Amino acid sequence: MALVRDTGWFKSTRSGAANEGCVEVRITPSTTGVRDTKNRTGGALSLRSAAWGTFVTGTKDGRFDLSI
């Protein structure tokens, strides 16, 4: 098992000044947190590490894409 330190909150590399969908991520030994960069006090989504991995894989595979 790899040891993971608390990374503290960091901004997604995909977030930019022109992007309204900015998020921050925080990785700890047991969970991964995600919050809105523009509303840091508005709460965070907290996922266990395995669930975070499933979410990231699904996102990359386009499973959550919206057809607008």
Predicted confidence (pLDDT) per residue in 28-60, tens digit: 988 999 998 888 889 999 999 899 899 889 989
- Residue 56 in any domain: the answer is no
Going by pLDDT thresholds of 50, 70 and 90, the confidence category of residue 13 is confident
In a domain, 32, yes or no: yes
Reference 33, options 22, 41, 24, 42; nearest CA is: 24
Whether 51 maps to a domain, the answer reads no
Domain tally, the chain: 1
Specify the length of the chain in residues: 68
- State how far the alpha carbon of 37 is from the alpha carbons of 11, 15, 25, 40, 68, in Å: 7, 9, 9, 6, 24
The mean predicted confidence, pLDDT, of the chain is 84
Does the pTM of the predicted model rise above 0.75?
no
Q: Return the SS3 of 37.
A: helix
Cα(48)–Cα(30) distance, integer angstroms = 6
> Is residue 53, in this structure, part of any structural domain at all?
no
Percent residues over pLDDT 70 in the chain: 81
- 35 within domain boundaries: yes
